[in-house]
Structure 1
Amino acid sequence: MADDFKVTDPRTLRAYAHPLRVRLIGLLRSEGPMTATRAAAALDDNVPNCSFHLRQLAKYGFAERVPGADARERPWRATARTTSWDDDSDDPAMRAATDQLNSVLLGVFTQRAQDYLATRADEPAEWRAAAGFGDMLVHVTAAELRELTEQIEALASRFDDRAADPAARPAGSRPIQLIQLAIPRGPVS
C-alpha cells in the first residue's frame, strides 16, 4: 500500500466526496481488506450499495481488488494509507471540489462525534477522562498555522507503525481518531 494518494484532479476529488465512500476507505484503512458484504455489515449499509461505491472508489484509484483472491471471496483494499489534496488552488473547479469534499468530511466527523456521545456513558472512566472535546483560540500568521499543523502531525506520527502492525500496539490501546479543524475566525488584520 502506498503511503499517500495525492489527488490533484477536481473530478477525482468529487468522486471521493461521498459520505459512504469516505467511510469505506476509512474502514479499509483501519480494518484491512474486506468484501463488500463485510463492509456493509460494519457500516450498517446494504451490500449492493457498498459494492457500487467500492467500484467507484476503484475507478478513481482509491481502492483495488486484493490480488489473488478467489472468485467467491472478492475483497477490496485501500491503495494508500492516506489521501491528501491541496486547498490553495486558484482554479475554481478545484476550489469547488475541495470545498465539497471538506463539507462531506465535516459531516462524517460530526457523525462520528455524535456516535461517540451516544455511547460515552458506557465507556470506562479512564477513557471518558482521556477522550473529549475542546478548543483553543490562537492568533497566528498563515505560516505559523502551517508550522503548528506540522508539529501536531509530527506528534501523532510517532504512532504510525501501530496502524499497519497490530503487534506494535500495546495492550489496552484502541484506535482513536484525531480530527483537526483549523478555522480562521474574523477577517485578516
Structure 2
Amino acid sequence: MADRIITEVDELKAVTHPLRVRMLAALRADGPATATELARRFDTDTGTTSYHLRKLARHGFVEEAEQRDGRERRWQASHPTTSWDTAALSTSAEGRAAISVMRQHQMASLQRTITAYETAQTDLPPEWVAAAGMSDLPARLAPRSLHELERRIVAAIEELEAADADDPEARRVLLHFGGFPRIDPPGWADVADADSAEES
C-alpha cells in the first residue's frame, strides 16, 4: 500500500472528526477490525462506528478487509500513513482551518501517549524508561533543510525498524515530529535588538 497525500480540503475534512481520526489510527496500528470491535474500544455504539467507517470508506481512507466469516464486515486502513499538502491546502481559509484541527488531533494523540506512558512507566523495564522521552531543540534552518530533516528522520526510522524486525525486545513506539518557524511575540525583536545595543 502506498502512502496517502491529501490535496483536497473535503478529503482532509473527512478525517477531522475526532472519532474518525482515532479509528483510522487504530486500524493502522492494530490491524483490521469490525465496527463492533471499534465501538468496544472507543466506548461507543456500533451504529456510530459503522457510520464513520462508511464516511472514511467514501473518501478512500479505509476498505473492506478479508472476512473471517460472513457475519460481520472487517475494515482495514487503505494506506500505511496519511499526510497532507500544506502548501496546497493553506491557500484557503477552509483548508487552513482543517489543517489546524488535524494538528490539534495530533497534539491530543501526543498527550494521550504521554499520559499512558506516565501511568505505566513503573511497570516498564528500566531500559524503556531510559529510552523514552521528548526533546525541544532550537535550530536555524532554511525551509529546504527542514524538509530534508523530516525526510532523513523517516529514512532513519525505516532503517532501524528493519534492523529490529527480529529483535524480541522491540515493541511498537509512537513517534511525533514537528518543525515550525519560531514566531516571536509582537515587539520581542525590538526588545532583543535594544538589549544587544546596550551590551555593545
Q: TM-score interval w.r.t. the shorter chain?
A: 0.7 to 0.9
Q: What is the CA deviation profile of residues 37-83 of structure 1, one whole-angstrom value per residue up to 9, with x for unaligned ones?
A: 22233344443332222122112111112255643131001111111
Is the CA contact 1:58–1:64 (under 8 Å) kept in the aligned structure 2? yes
> 1:179, 1:10 → 2: CA distance?
23
Change (3 A) 1:185 1:30: same
Instruction: Say whether residues 1:22 and 2:1 are aligned partners.
Output: no
- Tell me the matched-pair count: 183
Is the CA contact 1:66–1:77 (under 8 Å) kept in the aligned structure 2? yes
Is the CA contact 1:22–1:105 (under 8 Å) kept in the aligned structure 2? no
> 1:106, 1:137 → 2: CA distance?
19
> 2:158, 2:31 → 1: CA distance?
20
Q: What is the CA deviation profile of residues 79-123 of structure 1, one whole-angstrom value per residue up to 9, with x for unaligned ones?
A: 111112111132333222222222222222222222222222221
> 1:32, 1:51 → 2: CA distance?
17
**What corresponds to 1:129 in structure 2?**
130
With the length of structure 2 as denominator, give the TM-score of the two structures: 0.81
**What corresponds to 1:83 in structure 2?**
82
- Tell me how far 1:14 sits from its aligned partner: 1.0
Query: For 2:146, what is the secondary structure of its paired residue?
Result: helix
Instruction: Say whether residues 1:99 and 2:127 are aligned partners.
Output: no
> 1:39, 1:93 → 2: CA distance?
30
Larger radius of gyration between Structure 1 and Structure 2: 2
- Tell me how far 1:141 sits from its aligned partner: 1.5
Structure 2: gaps spanning 5 or more residues = 190-200
Change (3 A) 1:16 1:152: same
- Tell me how far 1:161 sits from its aligned partner: 5.6
> 1:179, 1:58 → 2: CA distance?
26
Change (3 A) 1:3 1:168: same
> 1:72, 1:128 → 2: CA distance?
43
> 2:44, 2:36 → 1: CA distance?
9
The residue type equivalent to 1:40 in the other structure is A
Instruction: Say whether residues 1:33 and 2:36 are aligned partners.
Output: no
Q: Once structures 1 and 2 are overlaid, which stretch shifts more, 53-62 or 90-99? A: 90-99
With the length of structure 1 as denominator, give the TM-score of the two structures: 0.85
Structure 1: gaps spanning 5 or more residues = none
Change (3 A) 1:83 1:178: same
> 1:146, 1:81 → 2: CA distance?
20
Query: For 2:3, what is the secondary structure of its paired residue?
Result: strand
**What corresponds to 2:195 in structure 1?**
none
Query: For 2:87, what is the secondary structure of its paired residue?
Result: coil
Change (3 A) 1:44 1:128: farther
Query: Which structure ranks higher in relative contact order (CA pairs < 8 Å, sequence separation ≥ 6)?
Result: 1
Identity of paired residues, percent? 34
